[in-house]
């Protein structure tokens, strides 16, 4: 049993372990592409280490900010997230990459507002679920606000389109609401009612249908929609138990697209084998256990829900990413938290850990 200070130690150890593994694997997966495109094999890893440094600084800062401050700022933070998501669709501000408008370009800096939106929704839910704890079983005050408000944020994210983040956030809303005591029949009823709308959305986005078709039978189009998942499975198959050796993988040699971002776990499977995969999964399990234990032992309801939501934000995304690259779920374009190359995801995840740590320290104060 993890008790007392052991939970925060485990949280820090697992986080640092994943960040360290990420730095090593970003270099291993990107040095050839970086050399070919930019003439500098350290191009991506230098930028990634910059993100790590920024994330570590923010982790320390947010671990020292009393988490109850976010209770008072829940609505302003949510409003800011909605404004940032809306700005994506403003020409000259929203930045389009790979057919999706998911980035903001402000003052020479680009970032992904949907990552901040996840934080904002979790803070809002933690605040609202606590505030409505006495009427949580009712339909109007107990159920509707906790699906309608996050639903507006999710709709903006879907419009980018960013189906992976929308799915992750939807799962977060459901789990947090159910944990707080929202009636299961309301949640299930909403899920059933949303099925036709979800089908229409997926049908209207051709790339989603292609991804689902490739997931069901990647070999039907091995050079097109099924190429990425086939190369990912080949990477895992080549790794065996012990792997081909760090830096010795072949799939990153222009076979596996996004090897240093969304599909970095595939290269871990190839180069470090089942052992390396097991270590990474164990670190995520340790993160989930530590965050959950901190939430369970926090007496303050707001802190409890906030710690749970932030822990799930990281853990669910990791689970979905690993399931995708193993061919268990259709591709969704989500980075592996702490490990994949990408500044916004890494920085926001480190902020989340800082907040969880503060909850661990301050959550039971009178």
Band (pLDDT 50/70/90 cuts) for residue 108 is: low
Task: Give the per-residue pLDDT at 207.
Answer: 65
Condensed to tens digits (0 to 9), the pLDDT of residues 31-87 reads 988 998 899 999 999 999 999 999 999 999 999 999 999 999 999 999 999 999 999
- In sequence order, the β-bridge partners of residue 104 are 94, 111
DSSP state string for 64-90: HS-TTHHHHTHHHHHHHHHHHHHHTTS
Spatial separation of the C-alpha atoms in residues 282 and 159, rounded to whole Å: 35
Query: Cis (ω within 30 of 0) for the bond into 121?
Result: no
Task: Give the per-residue pLDDT at 2.
Answer: 46
Spatial separation of the C-alpha atoms in residues 318 and 281, rounded to whole Å: 9
Task: Give the per-residue pLDDT at 100.
Answer: 67
Q: Which of 57-66, 163-172, 204-213, 355-364 has the highest mean pLDDT?
A: 57-66
Instruction: Please determine, for residue 304, whether its predicted confidence score (pLDDT) is greater than 50.
Output: yes
> Which residues, 6 or more positions from 340, have their beta carbon under 8 angstroms from its beta carbon?
22, 26, 260, 261, 262, 264, 321, 346
> Which residues, 6 or more positions from 117, have their beta carbon under 8 angstroms from its beta carbon?
81, 82, 84, 85, 153, 156, 157, 169
Band (pLDDT 50/70/90 cuts) for residue 128 is: very high
Band (pLDDT 50/70/90 cuts) for residue 1 is: very low
Token reading at 297: 């032992």
Band (pLDDT 50/70/90 cuts) for residue 15 is: very high
Spatial separation of the C-alpha atoms in residues 58 and 89, rounded to whole Å: 28
Band (pLDDT 50/70/90 cuts) for residue 13 is: very high
Radius of gyration of the chain (CA): 20
Band (pLDDT 50/70/90 cuts) for residue 354 is: very high
Instruction: Please determine, for residue 98, whether its predicted confidence score (pLDDT) is greater than 90.
Output: no
Instruction: Please determine, for residue 175, whether its predicted confidence score (pLDDT) is greater than 90.
Output: yes
Band (pLDDT 50/70/90 cuts) for residue 332 is: confident
* 285 φψ region: left (φ > 0), alpha (ψ -120 to 50), beta (else): alpha
Residues 232, 325 contacting (CB under 8 angstroms):
yes
Residue appearing with tokens 């507002």: 113
Q: Mean of the per-residue pLDDT values for the chain?
A: 90
For 31, the enclosing helix (H) or strand (E) is helix 5-38
Burial class (CB in 10 A: 0-12, 13-18, 19+), 279: middle
Band (pLDDT 50/70/90 cuts) for residue 103 is: confident
Token reading at 294: 């901190």
> Which residues, 6 or more positions from 317, have their beta carbon under 8 angstroms from its beta carbon?
168, 334, 335, 336, 337
For 110, the enclosing helix (H) or strand (E) is strand 109-111
């Amino acid at each position: 049993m993890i008790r007392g200070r052991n939970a925060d130690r485990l949280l820090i150890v697992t986080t640092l372990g994943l960040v360290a593994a990420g730095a090593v694997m970003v270099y291993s997966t990107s040095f050839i592409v970086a050399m070919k495109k930019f003439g500098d094999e350290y191009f991506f890893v230098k930028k990634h280490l910059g993100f790590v440094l920024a994330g570590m600084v923010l982790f320390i800062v947010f671990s020292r900010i009393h988490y109850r401050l976010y209770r008072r700022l829940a609505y302003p933070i949510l409003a800011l997230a909605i404004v940032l998501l809306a700005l994506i669709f403003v020409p000259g501000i929203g930045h389009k990459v790979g057919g999706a408008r998911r980035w903001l370009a402000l003052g020479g800096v680009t970032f992904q507002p949907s990552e901040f939106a996840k934080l904002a929704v979790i803070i809002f839910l933690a605040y609202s679920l606590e505030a409505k704890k006495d009427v949580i079983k009712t339909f109007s005050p107990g159920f509707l606000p906790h699906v309608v408000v996050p639903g507006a944020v999710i709709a903006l994210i879907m419009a980018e389109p960013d189906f992976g983040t929308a799915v992750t956030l939807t799962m977060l809303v459901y789990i947090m609401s159910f944990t707080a005591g929202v009636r299961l029949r309301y949640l299930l009823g909403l899920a059933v009612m949303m099925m036709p709308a979800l089908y229409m959305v997926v049908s209207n986005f051709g790339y989603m249908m292609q991804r689902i078709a490739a997931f069901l039978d990647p070999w039907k189009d091995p050079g097109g929609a099924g190429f990425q998942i086939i190369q990912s499975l080949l990477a895992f198959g080549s790794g065996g138990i012990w792997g081909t050796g760090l830096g010795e993988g072949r799939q990153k040699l222009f076979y596996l697209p996004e090897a240093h971002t969304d599909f970095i776990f595939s290269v871990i499977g190839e180069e470090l084998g089942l052992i390396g995969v097991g270590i990474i999964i164990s670190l995520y399990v340790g993160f989930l256990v530590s965050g959950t234990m901190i939430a369970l032992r926090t007496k303050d309801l707001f802190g409890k829900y906030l710690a749970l939501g932030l822990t799930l934000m990281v853990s669910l995304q990791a689970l979905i990413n690993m399931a995708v690259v193993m061919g268990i779920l259709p591709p969704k374009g989500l980075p592996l938290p702490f490990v994949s190359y990408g500044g916004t995801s890494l920085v926001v995840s480190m902020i989340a850990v800082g907040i969880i740590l503060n909850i661990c320290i301050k959550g039971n104060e009178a």
